[in-house]
Structures are given as structure tokens and as C-alpha cells.
Structure 1
Amino acid sequence: MLIIGLDPSLTCTGWGIVAKSGNRLTHIANGQVKTDAAMALPDRLVTLDRELTDVILRYRPDTSAVEEVFVNKNPQSTLKLGQARGVCLLTLARAGLPVAEYATRLIKKAVVGTGAAEKAQVQAMLKVLLPGVKLAGADAADALAVAITHAHMVR
């Protein structure tokens, strides 16, 4: 089973794909979709959709998972994150993929063992769980953690 995990953001959405076979996980790919802040919001959302669609068509995952929105102190940032997350959900649903959603604390707990883990701890565990993985960046690492969480949750 191929699982795609997404860490939504308007600036840089991370994606990661793992294969699950029994209890074994294998890294397939990871990357980031960056949008230009100088572009109009609708154009940035179209870029996000187009690039995620390309990833889905290239790797053909069987299922998907997305990190849930957390509320920022800045309402504008929360709104932009919600819009990017909506595009992620739409792109996955349009591709016919089942979509699961996980809270940040649950993702950290599933990967590291504690919901209060730091990003560095998550990235270190990714290298243990997926030997030889080369991370495309912090957002891609978070997306792989989402995919791994889903792999642990799905039966």
C-alpha cells in the first residue's frame, strides 16, 4: 500500500510517500511545493493543486493523510493555512483517495513516542524508521511523519 502524507501550507506544502507492507515501511519519495508570495492568492492555490496532482499521478498512492490545522496567533495566517489545506483535501478527494486527518500532537506521538517532540526529534526518528532517507526539507519531513502515522493507524 502506498500512502501519501501532506503538511499543508500556502508558502511550502510538504509531501511524503511511504510504502507499507505488513509492518514494514519503505520510503518512496518526498518533496515540497513552494508558492511565490508575490503571486495572487488564487494563482498560488492553483499552483499547489497542479503540483500535488502531478505528484499523485506520478506515484499513484492508494490512500492519503493530511495534518490538521492548528490555530495561529495571527488570524490571517490561520486563514491562509486553511485555504491551502482545503486545496490539499480537494486534490486528494478529486483523485479518489481516502483522506485521513491527524492532529500534530498525535503525529509526533506516533513517530517519536511523545506529543511534545521537537521537529529535530521527528526528523531523527524518520532517519531511523526510513533508513537512507534524504529529506527535501522540514515540510517534507513533516509530511513523511503524517504518512507514517497513517501507516500505523490503518489496518
Structure 2
Amino acid sequence: MRILGVDPGLTRCGLGVVDAAGARRVSLVHVEAATSPSTDPTPARIARLGAALDRVLDEHRPDCVALERVFAQSNVSTVMGTAQISGVVMLAAERRGLPVVLYTPSEVKAAVTGDGRAAKAQVGFMVTRILGLAEAPRPADAADALAIAIAHAWRGGAAPAGSAATTAAQRRWAEAERAARRRG
């Protein structure tokens, strides 16, 4: 299963694509941090990040999207930007018929490091190790996007075809949808 992980943000939006197989095997397909200048008007920033997201969705054709859940912070402008980009991600996925699964930061950290309160550096280290990379993806938003995709794969989102986690009908439906998207 191909998974797009998204760490939403209005200044930097992490986009990480992994292929997942059984036995907790994941491999890197693509990673980037799309950016928008804080000096631009918000609609232009959203459009710029939306275009980067569309490009990744069209080029890599994921089977699903794993998105970091917006959480409350004291900085309202940060929460607003994150929520706005999260909406863009959900809309783009819905238009393509892709399921979206939301994960809290602590769920992602726990899945990847074993500690729901792990520091960003530890998450980056584990992403590097899990994917067998020479160095951690930069900036941290890129590594976080990969961590979100890995968390989805490891939390049952990437159960291989034929696994007991899905019914035969669900597997046939998912395979048909993937084939149709890749042909389209």
C-alpha cells in the first residue's frame, strides 16, 4: 500500500510518501516540505501548498492519506494555518476517492519511537533508521510527514492483501480502486 503522510502547516507542509508491506516493512518513495512565504496573502499561500499537494498526489498516486490531527495551541494563527491546510488535504483526497485517517502527534510519536512524548530529533532519528536513510529528512516537517505515513502503516492501515485485518470483499474493492486510480 502506498501512503501519503502529511504534516500540515501554512509555512511548511511536510509531504512524505512510503510504500508499506507486511512485517512492518516500509520504503521511501518521496519526501518534501512544500513552503509558502509568510509575506504572501493567505489565499495565495493556500493555493501554493494545494498545488504542491496535487502534484504529489498525481505523481505518486497513494492509496490513502494519513494526516496529523489539528490540536489546540496557544498560538491561534498557527492553529488556523494548520487547520486551513488540513482542509485542503482532506478536500484533495476526497476528490480522488482516497481515505483520510487522522493521527495525533502523540500517536505518531508512540508508533515510531515507542514514546508518545518523544522529541522531534528522536522522531527524525527513528524515521531515518526505519527507512534506512543516510540522514534525516530536512526540515523536521518532512521527517514528521514520513513518521505519520509510517504510523499509519504500522497501525494496521497497510494490512497486506490477504491479511485477516480485512474481508475478501474489502480486499477486492480496495484492489479495484487502486487499479482504477493508477490507470486514470
Q: Same fold (TM over 0.5)?
A: yes
Q: Determine the C-alpha separation between the residues in 1 that align with 2:126 and 2:81.
A: 30
What is the deviation of 1:77?
A: 2.2
Task: Say whether residues 1:81 and 2:82 are aligned partners.
Answer: yes
What is the count of residue pairs matched by the alignment?
155
Aligned to 1:144: 146
Identity across the alignment (%) = 38
Matches within 5 A, 1:108-127: 108-127=109-128
Aligned to 2:96: 95
More displaced, 52-61 or 84-93?
84-93
The structure with the larger Rg is 2
Q: Determine the C-alpha separation between the residues in 1 that align with 2:122 and 2:13.
A: 20
Contact 1:30 1:136 in 2 (8 A): no
Contact 1:64 1:98 in 2 (8 A): yes
Following TM superposition, the consecutive aligned residue runs of length 4 or more in structure 1 with deviations greater than 2 angstroms are none
What is the deviation of 1:15?
A: 0.7
Letter in structure 2 aligned against 1:150:
H
Question: Aligned with 1:117: secondary structure?
Answer: coil
Which structure 2 residue ranges, 5 or more long, are not aligned? Answer: 160-184
Matches within 5 A, 1:61-80: 61-80=62-81
CA distances 1:99-134 after superposition (whole Å, capped 9, x unpaired): 000010010000000101001111111111100255
Which structure 1 residue ranges, 5 or more long, are not aligned? Answer: none
Task: Say whether residues 1:19 and 2:19 are aligned partners.
Answer: yes
Q: What do you get for the CA RMSD once the two structures are aligned?
A: 1.2
Q: Which of structures 1 and 2 has the larger relative contact order (alpha carbons within 8 angstroms, sep 6+)?
A: 1
Question: Aligned with 1:66: secondary structure?
Answer: strand
What is the deviation of 1:39?
A: 1.2
What is the deviation of 1:74?
A: 1.9
Aligned to 2:107: 106
Task: Say whether residues 1:3 and 2:3 are aligned partners.
Answer: yes
What is the deviation of 1:96?
A: 1.8
Q: Determine the C-alpha separation between the residues in 2 that align with 1:10 and 1:141.
A: 17
What is the deviation of 1:86?
A: 1.0
